[in-house]
Structure 1
């Protein structure tokens, strides 16, 4: 199996297709390398596309030590993919957990980014939701360990921002649920505790967001409630960003609404590749409402 090895010795499974400028796809907690199949098939026509399973997600290694899992590790595993494949710079596309990692990668390694797509990013970020999210993340981790993935995974797939997927595309949702139930219970529990529960709030990262220079597309579903206000925050603070909201969509937008997701990203990447993606005009944030002063 093709893999790269991280600086702490974890093997990350990857697949690639196509040629041209590279795109690295970074999956969400409930997904794995397979989650990006609609994007791999579409964008491999024009780009060198790479998808990989995060640590803790088969067939990548599942480290038993919980200390092997953190937001910084998730961020640096993207760098390990680039280094292992000899890629200097890439478009980075992430969803949810992968969106958080993409954001952190963008302000930590700006020299490695052609652009950033931050999708469905915001769970637990709002200041008033931090304690609730931490409790729910701990309970979910306990469930994966105690109940196993078949039962706990099936329940997780019916979360309040997943039912839209089930309603919009029952066949696609069933495939998503079945793949989730194949995940490692240990890897899921360790990831939930070490990455999801412990990551900093987006509201603590405002100063770092302001340093991002790579063209950035923030995208979310309009019924992905935990991500809407954090997406507005990122739009406001990242000076090279645009915000897109997909109608009648939940959290798993890359496979729930793949045609629209792909369309928007293709347009974004085209503008970036031809050098036409703008930074924000400072006059747009003067503080005036009508600009009559």
Structure 2
């Protein structure tokens, strides 16, 4: 199995399809590289499409110490994949936890990113939600360690932004739940404590976000409630960002709405590769509605 080794010695499993410009997919907390099967098949026709398992997600290594997990490491692990495949730059696409890693990759290694796509980025980011989110991350880790993955998956798969998937595609949702139950309880608990709970709020990064010039697409479902306001904030702050909202959709974008998600990403990448993705016209930031002062 192909793998990359990080600067702290962690082996990351990856799979790929196709050839051409590298396109790297970064999975969410409840997913793994298999969450991007529809994207590997679709984009592998025109790109070197790559999906990898984060640290803590077998067959990638599962460090026993929480100290081996952090938001910075998650971003740098993407860099390890690029270095392994010999790619000077790549399009990087993430959902949820993977979107945070993608965004931080853009902040830490902007010269290695051709573009960024951030799906479902925002859980716990709002200042008045941070304490609640951190408490939930701690409780989630305790549940994982106490009851194991199968019991956790049975509860987590029916959360408020997952029921949309269950309602519209019971077969797909059943597969999502089955794959989630196969994850490592140790790796998942450590990810909650080291990456999720400790990551900085997006609202504390607005100055850095405002300096991003890499083409950026933000995607969210309109029923992914914790991500709606942060997605709007990211659109306002990042001058190279566009925002797309999928109707009647929750959090698991790539598996819940693969066709709509692929179409958005296809159009975005086509504009980037032809030099047509714009920076925001500063005239659009007028304090007036019509541009005419009263």
TM-score (norm 1): 0.99
Match of 1:288 in 2: 288
Please give the alpha-carbon distance, in whole angstroms, between the structure 1 residues aligned to 2:107 and 2:211: 6
Please give the alpha-carbon distance, in whole angstroms, between the structure 1 residues aligned to 2:154 and 2:3: 29
Stretches of 4+ aligned residues off by more than 3 angstroms = none
Displacement after TM superposition at 1:154 (Å): 1.6
Task: For 1:151-162, list aligned pairs within 5 A.
Answer: 151-162=151-162
Task: For 1:158-169, list aligned pairs within 5 A.
Answer: 158-169=158-169
Cα RMSD over matched residues? 0.6
Match of 1:145 in 2: 145
Question: C-alpha offsets along residues 44-72 of structure 1, whole Å, 9 cap, x if unaligned?
Answer: 01100000000000110000011000000
Q: What are the ranges of 5 or more consecutive residues in structure 1 without an aligned counterpart?
A: none
Match of 1:42 in 2: 42
Match of 1:123 in 2: 123
Displacement after TM superposition at 1:113 (Å): 0.6
Match of 2:74 in 1: 74
Match of 1:247 in 2: 247
Displacement after TM superposition at 1:2 (Å): 1.1
Question: C-alpha offsets along residues 245-276 of structure 1, whole Å, 9 cap, x if unaligned?
Answer: 00000000111000000000000000000010
Matched position secondary structure for 2:107: helix
CA contact (8 A) 1:100 1:118 kept: yes
Question: C-alpha offsets along residues 93-141 of structure 1, whole Å, 9 cap, x if unaligned?
Answer: 0000000011111121111011000000000001111111111111111
Match of 1:175 in 2: 175
Please give the alpha-carbon distance, in whole angstroms, between the structure 2 residues aligned to 1:116 and 1:166: 28
- Determine whether 1:96 maps to 2:96: yes
Please give the alpha-carbon distance, in whole angstroms, between the structure 2 residues aligned to 1:193 and 1:126: 19
Match of 1:24 in 2: 24
Please give the alpha-carbon distance, in whole angstroms, between the structure 1 residues aligned to 2:77 and 2:265: 23
Q: What are the ranges of 5 or more consecutive residues in structure 2 without an aligned counterpart?
A: none
Displacement after TM superposition at 1:286 (Å): 2.2
Report the number of matched residues.
293
- Determine whether 1:85 maps to 2:119: no
Matched position secondary structure for 2:159: coil
Displacement after TM superposition at 1:200 (Å): 0.5
Match of 1:186 in 2: 186
Matched position secondary structure for 1:45: coil
Match of 2:5 in 1: 5
Matched position secondary structure for 1:148: helix
Please give the alpha-carbon distance, in whole angstroms, between the structure 1 residues aligned to 2:167 and 2:106: 34
Please give the alpha-carbon distance, in whole angstroms, between the structure 1 residues aligned to 2:8 and 2:271: 37
Match of 2:265 in 1: 265
Please give the alpha-carbon distance, in whole angstroms, between the structure 2 residues aligned to 1:107 and 1:3: 25
Please give the alpha-carbon distance, in whole angstroms, between the structure 2 residues aligned to 1:291 and 1:209: 26
CA contact (8 A) 1:144 1:153 kept: no
Please give the alpha-carbon distance, in whole angstroms, between the structure 1 residues aligned to 2:249 and 2:113: 28
Please give the alpha-carbon distance, in whole angstroms, between the structure 2 residues aligned to 1:84 and 1:34: 20
Please give the alpha-carbon distance, in whole angstroms, between the structure 2 residues aligned to 1:223 and 1:169: 16
Please give the alpha-carbon distance, in whole angstroms, between the structure 2 residues aligned to 1:196 and 1:234: 19
Please give the alpha-carbon distance, in whole angstroms, between the structure 2 residues aligned to 1:215 and 1:262: 17
Please give the alpha-carbon distance, in whole angstroms, between the structure 2 residues aligned to 1:167 and 1:245: 19
Displacement after TM superposition at 1:229 (Å): 0.2
TM-score (norm 2): 0.99
